[in-house]
Structure 1
């Protein structure tokens, strides 16, 4: 077995995760024969691009404003809910039903029709890789998209995937943090712990190559802020595959609104 280090920027990580999602058998099956809902979010914008391209229906889609809430530098004007004050153009989530993109639909319009075998993809704002926990920031008094998602997941066994980049990694216990942030004595955003199948860059490398990836350092400047260092361990063939994949994604432009 061999080990090789790679650096991956947040935007390259999003592209890596997006490519890995199309190598998951049950997702490909649902893409053609069931319903998949890709809930708006920055990472999910890359996934929507890949999936819509896969079914030959990517014309008219842009990931540029494919989000509801977003974290930005202080110079941007953002509502307490996380939405940009300029409004922008939000055309809905991406709903793909039996291989057809149902344009201009949102999760809220389709969620009550979802059944076992259908899949929802929803990003997260925090991930603890050790405990396999994730959390979503809440700005809506009725818990926003994750509130209705969990009704479908717990009530009708709809499968939830959580694609999330390692720039959102935390070390704390997410359930304990939720108790602090959601306390009646707290103000600002709320915090929703969520369980599902978490896909970070580490899982993406494993899905795409069969190799094991480990996070061992992070950080950067001049546009590389949030970047990660991963060590990939595998056979010579697996590392050759990793080389090709990283070469393909490493020049992914930074996501700018």
Structure 2
């Protein structure tokens, strides 16, 4: 089951039933109703399929299996894009849409929780929260800690920094990045300097950029994600001069992941 975040933190849920007879049954609902639902075989190429509530009994399959769906309604945040799983006779998608005001309140609660974890140096719970909700990374205000959580589980930037500082070879880390084939992000020049101050070499940074660029070309990434990923294939050596705040942020980020690793919190 694949989940791609686009524009909002709206919750999507689905129900799927099998074993029905008499054709293919399809249902589309939303709260509130009256949402326009877009669907398609690619997340970046959706077209209007129906308006909720929707119910249809069809003699032939409508091709919902593995298709992507997104709901939109004026006055509400666009839902996340969701890939429907394979179905037999019946498929059902349901969208819980949120207003901007509700979303703002939820975001403030998330920020408060994250800030409390960092203030109390409760990095274990912070990591568990990010593991369950990778999109929460954007609520981390500290640049270095936020950057440390970028990347696939097991090969996050902070983990890579710790691996290298524990004596793991650069070539081994690059091989792991290339074999994982999961994206990181488009790094700004300031972020590259921060990565370097965390002990990550240009070659490792380049590997992260390359794997991100290749992933973007597969079409498996959303338009909003693709805005943050540009096809940059080389990293130039940056100035070694770091601000005191950047250096301190890098130290904090490294300490976070070293603490997590040494306490065997990672699987």
Taking structure 1 as the reference length, what is the TM-score of the superposition?
A: 0.26
User: Higher strand fraction: Structure 1 or Structure 2?
Assistant: 1
Please tell me whether Structure 1 or Structure 2 has the larger radius of gyration of its CA atoms.
2
User: Higher helix fraction: Structure 1 or Structure 2?
Assistant: 2
Taking structure 2 as the reference length, what is the TM-score of the superposition?
A: 0.25
